[in-house]
Structure 1
């Protein structure tokens, strides 16, 4: 048998600690039961199951749970107890959870809905006719109460595959309206790379200015001379997928892509490249990585590089490298930052 204990958090939060809220009385296993809740009991709301009729050696399973918005389970408790005759002063025996849910959790939920509903269930475990309590070694021995096996009203939603669709559009050149012409790296001209100006403009402020700031004819051809073809292809694929191309491990290629990301205003791409460079950084490569961070305005990477340089024994090793000395000679700001961090 199951039921509800309901109260208004805002109305009860200022009441005394011994203020109680009662559920309706229900019948289970030939006995009457109700649940008593003390919403303001110290730091926790307390919840107890009461046996409301005279009985001896009644073994009951008591479960209670609180759900947010009738869906997400916030708190669930389960207990098995043997109830006996009422005590001398006429009060009925009760057993349960003095620390059912913390007041801070109640307050957090009540910020959106002051109405609190606690669902509960009681099942009386059948005895064997001997008059002795039913032997239950642990709560795990008691079958799961079916009322708490909730089925959410939901429909599974697959992960987004928008990047896959956009990538296929890029590869197939379907509906493209702009072409990029570049050198193939061997003295000749590579086949034009076709793209969609709306996607480019939406993703990059530099492309937005170039493609929307002037009237371009349909299927316009734009010559690119400020980067190599592999870097441009990698940047284009990021624009369509929001991720680094697979197999991009060469240090020089990553630095070139970071430079392109800085020029075209692709902040996420710049940080992805910075993370890749940082993951591979060593004493020998930190001068070049730090130089790249300074040149292409990546303060996050610059800070991590300087952290590495001044950490423990690293400075003695890095300072002996020719690349680091050359970097300090042409970059006074890096020299000043290192000296400040080292307090020299």
Structure 2
């Protein structure tokens, strides 16, 4: 009798090849702040105001907002909003979201999404019924007649397919920052202690010295105290020093809602400047620029002047360039502090207000 034999797949392996589809993209966000919206109402259906032109993926865009609606059909019932294609190669496909932000920067539930291919420069796409006027008035009543339109825009490139070689070795992402974060959390090898307020913080001298020239001079310079066990830090909140240490070890800020507050960001900028952490100072500047409003602009401007934060100062002066805004700001306690602590800045404000449009 014959004997059946089973041939295993190990003896005859099945050939295998792979390919993958890649779609490159570029994403960016632009915020268009609208102050005193009620003054824009009544300009008429079909009339619009637009944001400045912003660039995403090499293409120019702006946001068009119609306070009284895109047409007579929508007058008094809706505010209309559109994304306009200003410059670049035609035929660009995009995904975008337009949403309204509240005064505190939180995204409201008033937002819409779309995907569109722009075939001509000057073309626009969006919603004639972007938001109903009653819902908009409710938002305005809670936010001092102001809101921000946020556009999150993604440029989609043409997809392409490529072969995947089985010889490719996947390279793990860098996790250096995680190891340093563990060093800070676990406490192994720590050799210096800081007293900040009513809290103690332990750290590694070498890490601090490598990241900050100020710490290097304090811990290893000629004037260092070789026997010192605890260094006292004055004029700083424990939460700010904790965030400072986290940044020194990980090059990033800890996830904390408190650090998104204007006051905490101001203190963080001061701490970064004090210890020569230029990247942290710049990050704080960027976040403060995004949070300028009537109540905070004066104190933020004073801070920018005292710590030589040029871009932050420029942003504050730009916000104050309107006489209507300046009249309101002058009534705040922050403006009184500004005039007392930085009297020379008043001339800069007056020069900005008096400058011709576009300067």
Q: Who is 2:181 aligned against?
A: 167
> How far off its partner does 1:342 sit?
2.4
Partner SS state of residue 236, structure 2: coil
Structure-2 residue corresponding to 1:338 = 349
Asked if 2 retains the 8 angstrom alpha-carbon contact of 1:177 and 1:218, the reply is no
2:213 alignment partner in structure 1: 205
| 2:300 corresponds to 1:285 | no
Determine helix, strand or coil for the equivalent of 2:182: helix
Which residue does 2:265 correspond to in 1? Answer: 254
Moved more, 333-342 or 236-245: 333-342
Note closer, same or farther for the CA distance 1:329–1:219 as it changes in structure 2 (3 Å cut).
closer
Query: How many Å separate the matches in 2 of 1:196 and 1:208?
Result: 12
Deviates more, 1:216-225 or 1:158-167: 216-225
Contact in 2 for aligned 1:183/1:228 (Cα 8 Å): yes
Q: Deviations over 1:267-306 (max 9, x none)?
A: 1111222222222221111111111212222112111111
TM-score (norm 1): 0.50
Deviations 1:95-133 (A, max 9, x none): xxxxxxxxxxxxxxxxxxxxxxxxxxxxxxxxxxxxxxx
- Report what 2:193 is aligned to: 179
Write the distance in 1 (CA, Å) between the matches of 2:332 and 2:228. Answer: 51
By how many angstroms is 1:218 displaced?
7.7
Structure 2 counterpart of 1:227, from 232, 236, 241 = 236
C-alpha deviations, 1:172-198, integer Å up to 9, x for none? Answer: 1111121213331xxxxx3x3211111
Contact kept? 1:177, 1:194, Cα under 8 Å:
yes
Aligned match of 1:196: 204
The higher radius of gyration belongs to: 1
Distance 1:158 1:218 in 2: 42
Note the C-alpha offset of 1:152.
Answer: 9.2
Distance 1:161 1:149 in 2: 29
Residues 342 and 312 from structure 1, CA distance in 2 versus in 1: closer, same or farther, beyond 3 angstroms? closer
C-alpha distance after superposition, 1:201-250 (max 9, x if no partner):
11111101101104554883322223222221111111111111211233
2: CA distance between counterparts of 1:212 and 1:311?
A: 50
Bigger relative contact order, structure 1 or 2 (CA pairs below 8 A, ≥6 apart): 2
State the TM-score, normalized to the length of structure 2.
0.48
| Structure-2 separation of matches of 1:316 and 1:154 | 64
Gapped runs of 5+ residues in structure 2? 1-160
Query: Aligned equivalents of 2:270 and 2:288: distance in 1?
Result: 13
Q: Aligned partners of 2:329, 2:195: CA distance in 1, in Å?
A: 42
CA 1:152–1:338 in structure 2 vs 1: closer, same or farther (change >3 Å)?
farther
